[in-house]
Amino acid sequence: MVREGLTNPETGARLFISPRTVERHLRKTFGELGINSRKQLQAHAEAADRS
């Protein structure tokens, strides 16, 4: 959903969770991947798709 450009509130609404929960999961994912932005996450996902 981040790849689609959805905001935290939009993502939360689709998943029936709060925007803060989305933010917490993104923050954890960013840390695990060593990135710090949605743009970097999108690039990482696209690179993984190509592999």
pLDDT in tens, 6-26: 999 999 999 999 999 999 999
Residue 31 domain-assigned (yes or no): yes
Residue 3 domain-assigned (yes or no): no
Mean predicted confidence (pLDDT) in 23-32: 96
Report the mean per-residue pLDDT for the chain. Answer: 94
Q: State how far the Cα of 11 lies from the Cα of 21, in Å rounded to an integer.
A: 10
Within 10 Å of residue 22's Cβ, how many Cβ atoms?
22
pTM of the model: 0.84
pLDDT at position 12: 97
Q: State how far the Cα of 1 lies from the Cα of 51, in Å rounded to an integer.
A: 20
Q: What is the dihedral of CA 31, 37, 39, 40, to 10 degrees?
A: -30
Could you tell me which residues come within 8 angstroms of residue 9 by beta carbon, excluding any fewer than 6 positions away?
19
Residue 2 domain-assigned (yes or no): no
Q: What residue numbers bound the domain in which 43 lies?
A: 8-50
- What total number of domains does the chain contain? 1
Residue 13 domain-assigned (yes or no): yes
Residue 37 domain-assigned (yes or no): yes
